Amino acid sequence: MAELRQTPLYDLHLELGAKMVPFAGYAMPVHYPLGVMKEHLHCRAAAGLFDVSHMGQVILRGAGAAAGLERLIPQDVIGLGEGRQRYGFFTNERGGIEDDLMFANRGDHMFLVVNAGCKEADVARLRAALEPEVQVDYIEDRALLALQGPAAEAALAAVAPEVGDMTFMDVATVSLNGAECWVSRSGYTGEDGYEISVPAGAAVDLARLLLGDERVAPIGLGARDSLRLEAGLCLYGHDIDASTSPVEAALTWGIQKLRRAGGAREGGFVGADIILAQMQDGAARKRVGLLPEGRAPMRDGTEIFAGAEGGTAVGHVTSGAFGPTLQAPMAMGYVPSALSRAGTQLFGEVRGKRLPVKVAPLPFTPANFKR
Amino acid sequence: MKYTEEHEWLREEDGLIVVGITEHASEQLGDVVFIDLPEEGSEVTKDEEICVIESVKAASDILAPLDGEIVEVNAMLIDEPSKVNDDPLGDAWFFKMKPSDLGPMEDYMDEAAYKKFVG
């Protein structure tokens, strides 16, 4: 792993007994001695601490930052209140998704968190579109931690009581263990919790402090993936990519009315003509939840068929795993819109066998946010 | 008990060969969530992929260690795949086969050699 980048928590991961794997150019913990299954269940039952420092942190400064970002993403950025965060996605000319992100209004600047695998491209895209009017700062001296689960509030409030007053998608600057942290009440597990941007030099001490709470266990990328899949959340590069539109990906809930046809700031983002037309006319395919009826997991790439025999594939799985909370296999994938209604019987081909699978509503496990 | 480089263990029992995976393999796989067992009565050829283990991480193949017939599979694993993590050398055997050629048994590792193999 000599060429892999390390997060500020690398040595702590080794000390905690993590199995490290390459992920998006970084050496990252896939699991700790507890193992994926127990880590997943622990996060749903108590709280889990995740190192997500590989993700990109970007600051936009300047009076035109919000308006500038609206040219790249189909979200209402200008109307986002101070101290609030929103989910968004960069689109392309074909109406596809270049990356998904979280963006926050932190008063005198916007704070963005983007995917590790896309961060260089995202920064380049932002610079090309926004500079020089808007200053684009790629933050490389901060780590990013996620504290997730029903006990996350109690564990973080033990360090800084004011985080208990935050509600879902609030952001605030909070002093944690003496370090200035940028905290959001959000995450990628379907659980209540926080994401914490912390100065790199203070990250290990903060992580140790949080792990010192008996409710908090370190959680690796393995459980992060099964947690987000149970929560019905997309993984960029799998469930969404440059060839999937937000309409196909069933993400139109993330496009505020004001950016849609007839809205006050209709269109004006990359690929708007295609995306807005699809919102009117519908898309030919749709991202859906899939529940295999047997116990065999249907992994990424599994072909989906309309019938038990013959015919060509009508769709495919984009994420598939065993759901530790669900105690059953689960998947997401794309199917023709005509076959996308919940309860539709389909078949996934696993090792040459057509196995029954039903279209299912997402999320697979109910969200547990503090609204 | 003999061991293959594929981390299977083979135990002779009443003229049959009982096959499972080693503790080392079960640890490497992580939590096992599904096992696709071969069909009882099927004829298999050495090194044929006859069984699939799915863990939370990935799918892995189990190869037939010998030529022969699968006479019994451990149906308990269908409902309780996690037994492979709990008791890989005992309750969580995969299948019993009637070998038609015991020759390759000589080539498989004994316990000392296997321990050395996994380091």
The class (CATH top level) of A284-365 is mainly beta
Range of the domain at B11: 2-102
Strand segments (E) across chain A: 19-23, 26-31, 47-51, 56-61, 84-91, 97-105, 109-114, 135-139, 142-148, 171-176, 179-184, 193-199, 216-218, 285-292, 303-305, 315-323, 328-336, 345-350, 353-360
**How far is the C-alpha of A279 from the C-alpha of A266, rounded, in Å?**
12
Counting the structural domains of chain B, the total is 1
| φ/ψ of residue A274, rounded to 5 | -70, -45
Residue B118 falls inside a structural domain = no
Chain A residues with CB under 8 Å of B36 CB are: 296, 351
Q: Residue A322 is nearest to which of B52, B56, B78, comparing CB atoms?
A: B56
On whether the CB atoms of residues B60 and B81 are closer than 8 A, the answer is no
Stretch B68-83: mean pLDDT: 95
> How would you class A371 by CB atoms within 10 Å of its CB: exposed for 0-12, middle for 13-18, buried for 19 or more?
exposed
Residue B6 falls inside a structural domain = yes
Residue B67 falls inside a structural domain = yes
Q: What was the pLDDT predicted at A1?
A: 46
Which CATH number fits the domain that encloses residue B21?
Answer: 2.40.50.100
Q: What was the pLDDT predicted at A186?
A: 98
Chain B residues with CB under 8 Å of A322 CB are: 33-34, 54, 56
List the domain boundaries for chain A: 1-283, 284-365
Q: What was the pLDDT predicted at A3?
A: 87
Beta strands A56-61 and A135-139: pairing type? antiparallel
pLDDT averaged over 10-residue windows placed end to end, chain A, 371 residues: 87 98 96 96 98 98 97 98 98 98 98 97 98 97 98 98 98 98 98 98 98 98 97 98 98 98 97 97 97 95 97 98 96 98 98 96 95 87
**How far is the C-alpha of B7 from the C-alpha of A77, rounded, in Å?**
55
B31·A35 Cβ contact <8 A: yes
When scoring A295, A302, A326 by the number of chain B Cβ atoms within 10 A, the one with the most, hence best to mutate, is A295
Q: What is the separation, in whole angstroms, between the first and last Cα of chain A? A: 42
DSSP string of A62-90? STTHHHHHHTTSSS--TTPPTTEEEEEEE
Please tell me whether residue A113 adopts helix, strand or coil conformation.
strand
Chain A residues with CB under 8 Å of B57 CB are: 30, 36, 222
> How would you class A288 by CB atoms within 10 Å of its CB: exposed for 0-12, middle for 13-18, buried for 19 or more?
buried
Q: What was the pLDDT predicted at A2?
A: 58
Residue B115 falls inside a structural domain = no
Residue B108 falls inside a structural domain = no
Q: What was the pLDDT predicted at B119?
A: 87
Residue B110 falls inside a structural domain = no
| φ/ψ of residue A142, rounded to 5 | -130, 145
A295·B57 Cβ contact <8 A: no
Q: Which chain A residue has its CA at the smallest distance from B61's CA?
A: A351
CATH 3.40.50.720 fits A1-283, yes or no: no
> How would you class A335 by CB atoms within 10 Å of its CB: exposed for 0-12, middle for 13-18, buried for 19 or more?
buried
Alpha helix segments (H runs only) across chain B = 23-29, 76-79, 83-86, 111-118
Nearest to A205 by CA among A6, A12, A10: A12
Q: Which chain B residue has its CA at the smallest distance from A351's CA?
A: B52
Q: The whole model's pTM is what? A: 0.94
The confidence band for B58, taking pLDDT boundaries of 50, 70 and 90, is: confident
Strand segments (E) across A140-247: 142-148, 171-176, 179-184, 193-199, 216-218
Q: Which chain A residue has its CA at the smallest distance from B36's CA?
A: A296
